[in-house]
Amino acid sequence: MNKIQQFLSAIHPNPKQEEFFLAQEKRIAYGGARGGGKSFAMRKKLCMLALKYPGIQILLLRRSYPELRENHINPLRRELKGLAAYKDSAKEFTFYNHSRIKLGYFASDGDALQYQGQAYEVIGMEEATQFTEEQYLALTECNRISGAMCDAFVPRMYFTCNPGGVGHAWVKRLFIDRAYRANENAADYRFIPAKVYDNDYLMQNDPSYVHALEALPPVRRKAMLDGNWDVFEGQFFPEFSRERHVIDPFEIPENWRRFAAFDYGLDRTACLWFAYPPDESRIVVYREFCASDLILSRAASAIRQSASGDRVRSYLAPPDLAARRQETGRGGFEVLRTAGIRHLLPANAARIPGWRRVREFFQADTPSGTPFLQIFSTCKELILCVSRLQFDPKVPEDAALYPHAITHAADALRYGLCGAPFLPLKPEIIEKREKKTLAEEFFGKQKTDYYRFFTD
């Protein structure tokens, strides 16, 4: 048996790793949870490509050099003995067929510059969520045919990843949410989920590692053991669950009351529409409008057109819009009414009490056990923003204002739920109170103009 046969015969992939080896897409991500055999799968895949395609140029990256050395350089020096020569100064393995695996790391954001102008048919990013989106995009410019390969080979990138980290959002967008931009082709991307339970070697030889994952605190356990991309350390709403709170759209009954809330900024406008039944037993976010770079009058027109034919009782708007606008010389509410948005009310803008109220709605269940707050699956931006929102590092109970683009839909949700004329209550409390009493609990004994917009 020659060296190549020995190398290949030593590979015993589990079903998930085998799926990763056979996948043909241009962008393939593997993992999602700890212990799924990600580093093994990445190393073996890149080595098999190097053996199959003479002259291929491959780049393998980790975030830091110690990680690169322990997870790849040292194992590859053992595994490729007799197949490839290692040059420590260049951090690269050169194969007998002139293929090459270059190993690199990003000690700082500027390290992406060292790869500019170079060409690699294959790039592997280990622990991709530790890289920024800017670093990923810089590397895509290097993912092209080099002079040593024929044009028939399709350049590709491989990723391993866990939830969390600075790159959580872009990895989740591409491989979990599959929310693609104009220049991205959905057919190019594939995610292969793997958990520790898929790793037979670990399950048989290191059960203590499995037990350690199972003993993690709840939020981290969901991310690292279950591979839940909607939960990660620092997430502002760990209560939010895509499985529980996101539902398929249905036709809102005529007798359900409807209202809307929106947040406006020149960078982003986000408007959400809410509906609830006469018994106030649940609340549903059933529509969204989100767009960038709109002046207020155009944002208002677009919101009105989105709700065409919908009987919306009122719109909750940020209170600062009531002030005079520099671009028009008129108050923001006047601009909105001129564009056709009637029944405007200033939203409650108190942040921390507002976030607490949103959290109540996420945590509450109806008497039947379903979530009190549900979101139509068509409200894609709201779902993304709620799952990505993080704590403000300086104000423990507030949400971070960065990245700012993801705050607008969440703010609209906060405005809407603070304006909802009822509270999610426990089933035994609901049974004892009439509908009017529930509304009065929030608004007081007097039926104000504010409340009339919802009930008239």
Question: Do the domain assignments include residue 234?
Answer: no
CA–CA distance, 278 with 434 (Å, rounded to integer): 11
Half-sphere exposure of 234 (CA within 13 A, CB side): 14
Give the CATH number, domain containing residue 377: 3.30.420.280
DSSP line for 79-124: HTTTTEEEETTTTEEEETTS-EEEEEE-SSGGGGGGGTT---SEEE
Encoded amino acid at 115, one letter: Y
Other C-beta atoms within 10 Å of 89: how many? Answer: 5
pLDDT at 409: 96
Helical pair 168-175 and 380-388, crossing angle rounded to 10 deg: 150
User: Which residue, among 313, 268, 274, has the nearest Cα to 295 in the 3D structure?
Assistant: 268
What is the rounded distance in angstroms from the CA atom of residue 401 to the CA atom of residue 405? 9
Q: Which residues of the chain have pLDDT under 50?
A: 1, 429-456
Residue 173 within a domain? yes
pLDDT given at position 193:
92
- 50, 194: one domain: yes
Give the range of the structural domain holding residue 248, as residue numbers without chain letter. 243-455
N- to C-terminal Cα separation, the chain: 85
Given 194, 224, 254, the domain boundary residue is 224
Residue 66 sits in the same domain as residue 140: yes
Tokens found for residue 361: 């709605």
Question: Residue 13 contacts by C-beta under 8 Å, 6 or more apart in sequence?
Answer: 20, 21, 41, 44
- What Å distances lie between residue 269 and 258, 288, 387, CA to CA? 20, 10, 19
435: enclosing H helix or E strand: helix 435-443
DSSP category for residue 235? B
pLDDT computed for residue 251 by the predictor: 95
For the domain that residue 125 is a member of, what is the CATH number? 3.40.50.300
Q: Can you give the pTM of this predicted structure? A: 0.58
The Cα 380–Cα 176 span in angstroms is 13
Backbone φ and ψ for 102, nearest 5 degrees, come out as -95, 130
Check whether residue 70 and residue 199 sit in a common domain. yes
Q: How many domains does the chain have?
A: 2
Residue 310, domain member (yes or no): yes
Where is the domain boundary, 159, 194, 224?
Answer: 224
Instruction: Tell me if 231 is assigned to some domain.
Output: no
Which amino acid, 344? L
Query: What is the rounded distance in angstroms from the CA atom of residue 151 to the CA atom of residue 369?
Result: 57
Q: Compute the distance between CA of residue 106 and CA of residue 40 in angstroms, rounded to an integer.
A: 21
Q: How far apart are the C-alpha atoms of 140 and 174, rounded to whole Å? A: 14
**Residue in 180, 179, 157 with CA at minimum distance from that of residue 27:** 157
* Total Cβ atoms within 10 A of residue 398: 15
How much is the pLDDT for 443? 41
| Three-state secondary-structure class, residue 232 | coil
Query: Is residue 219 domain-shared with residue 268, that is, in the same domain?
Result: no
Confidence (pLDDT) at 64: 86
**3-state secondary structure at position 25:** coil
- How far apart CA 311 and CA 257 sit, in angstroms, is 8
